[in-house]
Amino acid sequence: MYKTTELQQIIDSEFQKLYFPKNPAELYQPIEYILSIGGKRIRPLFTVLAANLFSEDVQNAINPAIGLEIFHNFTLLHDDIMDKADIRRNKPTVHKKWNENVAILSGDAMMIYSYEFFMNLPTEIQISIFKTFNKTAIEVCEGQQFDMNFENKMEVSEQEYIKMIELKTSVLIAACFKIGAICGGANEKDAENMYEFGKNLGLAFQLRDDYLDCFGNTAEFGKQIGGDIVANKKTYLLIKALNISDSQTKAKIIAEINKKDFDRTEKVNTILEIYQQLNIPQITEKKIEEYYNLAFSYFDKISVPTERKTPIIEFVNLLKNRKS
Amino acid sequence: MYKTTELQQIIDSEFQKLYFPKNPAELYQPIEYILSIGGKRIRPLFTVLAANLFSEDVQNAINPAIGLEIFHNFTLLHDDIMDKADIRRNKPTVHKKWNENVAILSGDAMMIYSYEFFMNLPTEIQISIFKTFNKTAIEVCEGQQFDMNFENKMEVSEQEYIKMIELKTSVLIAACFKIGAICGGANEKDAENMYEFGKNLGLAFQLRDDYLDCFGNTAEFGKQIGGDIVANKKTYLLIKALNISDSQTKAKIIAEINKKDFDRTEKVNTILEIYQQLNIPQITEKKIEEYYNLAFSYFDKISVPTERKTPIIEFVNLLKNRKS
């Protein structure tokens, strides 16, 4: 078995080897740019970790791992246009550095490019991997659409929110685990359990993101607390608060959301105080824990010797306890 | 063998049967909308015509035919955002009817959806079709980028222009013929010849579009003559005119291009007059003829009995002589 750091190195070196055509430059430079500014490459790592769970040979999983990461970066590129985001990973977003047309088209090319990495797989796994990837890709678009819809919708239920982040975020992580597993030779049942493992992990990760944005330690979090509050983002915390608060508190939250002119610190503190009063941090932490437990209930079912599971468990625990 | 009208009916009925999910509505309604406002469905027809050239059974070609048309419509949807076009097929474009974000995302979903129609093919042809489609899809993006680059570039060579329309338009038509042929059981050589046939036909079609926009008969053309001239579009005619004119005439053309305030009729007439002086209509017609001849030199090589070729020849001749 590989050490996780070894798999990380394999992934990194594969990304360094990636080659895109030189022309047209406006199409390919943005793709090289967004891939070069990094990110944690967690999805390809999940993919090869999953393959390594079932097989010593992770070779089959490498191309799909790259394809999944390229697809993920395509979604970031197009989401940033839609969200009018100027900064991604501390760098200007593609539509800021170039322009919107370049961002739309290089995103399109990037998405198509990701499919290149799902060819040349062994025949017996080709179609099931391809189908998993394509289904997931469509679901991610659905998730982004629901997310955009929520911007103009005050009443979002917890269930609707969970469904949205499942589509927007979790199914791709689920697909990484499932596709990696299939590449490693997992049987159908194990592959499905890996999918459910990833899906519930993804939900826990997203809720953790929501939580850290409000209750992270500023020094460790690496950016200012409360970005989601300032942007009136419908996070788990806000939705839960709106759903469980009495009419008076709810009115107070809505008043904060509707304020056009406000002092950042004041707004953040007002909302955080309400969250504290409503026990939102504890409720969120409990929910995160539930999803971790659910995730591991699926992982426990995987029919491989326990010692093979250690690298994934350790890596997931690392992510679970992250502060940023 | 099928009659072309029968194949057209098969295609139409398949499109009528297409089903998209209901939710999120903002994602799927635009897809249904752009597919419902029609277009001539020439690409899927080429695909099944190509299959029928080699086989009585066109069943294998139907899904790829639909996928190719959905992909084509995705490119129109995103191109319309980039070109800021308000009207497509006499209807508001998706980004006008909804908004840009909806158009970006439903385009993305549409592109991904097109891949759904390239699964479940017989194993022996799956990969070659998939590879042809994906290579083509990337090339179409490259073509669109070159086209956008030309907007800000005064000196475009004929060769650069031909390369651009080859990528933006022709390779997709080429892919339709090739993929259809593969579905019909064509050997590699015939499939390649079908590709070259389609590629050169595509070039002829595009040059014909350029020509009709200037020298079509208004009544038959169905829209106002000179739209490309008004928009300063770098067509074959404009590029050729810039490339073969003396410095005085060239200056006159450039002056027209640079005019901010102008009378439509005056501008169109001035440019048309220059085109006439430079023999641009004749030069363009000759070039179109050359591409048709080149196309048919490949078609002639296809190793099927001549009578099987009749439907394609007749249909292409119909397109060749179109006035709009």
pLDDT digits over A260-289, tens only?
A: 999 999 999 999 999 999 999 999 999 999
Yes or no: say if A241 and A275 are a contact pair by the CB < 8 Å rule. yes
pLDDT band at A222 (very low <50, low <70, confident <90, very high): low
Q: How far is A106 from chain B (nearest CA, A)?
A: 8
Q: Is A255 on the interface with B (CB under 8 A)?
A: no
**Residue B24 has what pLDDT?**
97
**Residue A221 has what pLDDT?**
65
Q: Residue B92: beta bridge partners?
A: B87
User: How far, in Å, CA of A261 to CA of A267, rounded?
Assistant: 10
Q: Is A157 on the interface with B (CB under 8 A)?
A: no
- CATH number for the region B4-203+295-320 comes to 1.10.600.10
Closest partner residue to A149 (CB to CB) among B21, B24, B137 is: B24
Q: How far is A36 from chain B (nearest CA, A)?
A: 21
CB contact under 8 A, A127 and B119: yes
Specify the pTM.
Answer: 0.96
Yes or no: say if A212 and A254 are a contact pair by the CB < 8 Å rule. no
CB contact under 8 A, A27 and B109: no
The secondary element (H helix, E strand) that includes residue B301 is none
Q: Which residues of B199-223 are buried (b: 16+ CB within 10 A; e: fewer)?
A: bbbbbbbbbbbbbbbbbbeeeebee
For A:35-54, CB contacts with B below 8 A are none
pLDDT digits (tens, 9 = 90+) for A50-98: 999 999 999 999 999 999 999 999 999 999 999 999 999 889 999 999 9
Closest residue of chain B to A141, computed from CA coordinates: B109
Q: What are phi and psi of A90, to 5 degrees?
A: 65, 15
- Enumerate residues 6+ apart whose C-beta is below 8 A from B282: none
Q: How far is A78 from chain B (nearest CA, A)?
A: 8
The 8 Å CB, 24+ separation contacts for B35-40 are B35/B69, B35/B70, B35/B73, B37/B88, B37/B89, B37/B91, B38/B89, B39/B69, B39/B72, B39/B73, B39/B89
Q: Is A127 on the interface with B (CB under 8 A)?
A: yes
Closest partner residue to A141 (CB to CB) among B112, B142, B145 is: B112
Q: Is A122 on the interface with B (CB under 8 A)?
A: no
Q: Is B255 on the interface with A (CB under 8 A)?
A: no
Closest partner residue to B104 (CB to CB) among A27, A81, A131 is: A81
The 8 Å CB, 24+ separation contacts for B281-286 are B281/B211, B281/B214, B281/B215, B283/B240, B283/B244, B284/B207, B284/B210, B284/B211, B284/B236, B284/B237, B284/B240, B285/B211
**Residue B154 has what pLDDT?**
82
CB contact under 8 A, A105 and B146: no
The structural domains of chain A, with segments of one domain joined by +, span 4-216+292-320
Q: Is A98 on the interface with B (CB under 8 A)?
A: no
CB contact under 8 A, A78 and B142: no
The secondary element (H helix, E strand) that includes residue B91 is strand B91-92
Average pLDDT, chain A: 95
**Residue A225 has what pLDDT?**
86
CATH number for domain A4-216+292-320, candidates 3.30.565.10, 1.10.600.10, 3.40.50.720, 3.40.50.300: 1.10.600.10
Q: Is A119 on the interface with B (CB under 8 A)?
A: yes
Q: Residue A166: beta bridge partners?
A: none
User: How far, in Å, CA of B45 to CA of A261, rounded?
Assistant: 58
CB contact under 8 A, A27 and B111: no
Residue A2 has pLDDT above 80, yes or no: yes
Yes or no: say if B226 and B264 are a contact pair by the CB < 8 Å rule. yes
pLDDT digits (tens, 9 = 90+) for A7-21: 999 999 999 999 999
Q: Is A149 on the interface with B (CB under 8 A)?
A: yes
Q: How far is B27 from chain A (nearest CA, A)?
A: 7
User: How far, in Å, CA of B181 to CA of A115, rounded?
Assistant: 23
Find the angle CA(A177)-CA(A183)-CA(A186) to the nearest 5 degrees: 75
Q: How far is A268 from chain B (nearest CA, A)?
A: 29
pLDDT digits (tens, 9 = 90+) for A142-153: 999 999 999 888
Each residue's pLDDT tens digit in chain B (324 positions)? 999 999 999 999 999 999 999 999 999 999 999 999 878 899 999 999 999 999 999 999 999 999 999 999 999 999 999 999 999 988 999 999 999 999 999 999 999 999 999 998 999 999 999 999 999 999 999 999 999 999 888 889 999 999 999 999 999 999 999 999 999 999 999 999 999 999 999 999 999 999 999 998 777 766 788 999 999 999 999 999 999 999 999 999 999 999 999 999 999 999 999 999 999 999 999 999 999 999 999 999 999 999 999 999 999 999 988 776
User: How far, in Å, CA of A179 to CA of A201, rounded?
Assistant: 16
Closest residue of chain B to A82, computed from CA coordinates: B101
Q: What is the ipTM of this complex?
A: 0.95
Q: How far is A135 from chain B (nearest CA, A)?
A: 8
B-chain CB neighbours of A138 within 8 Å are 109, 112-113
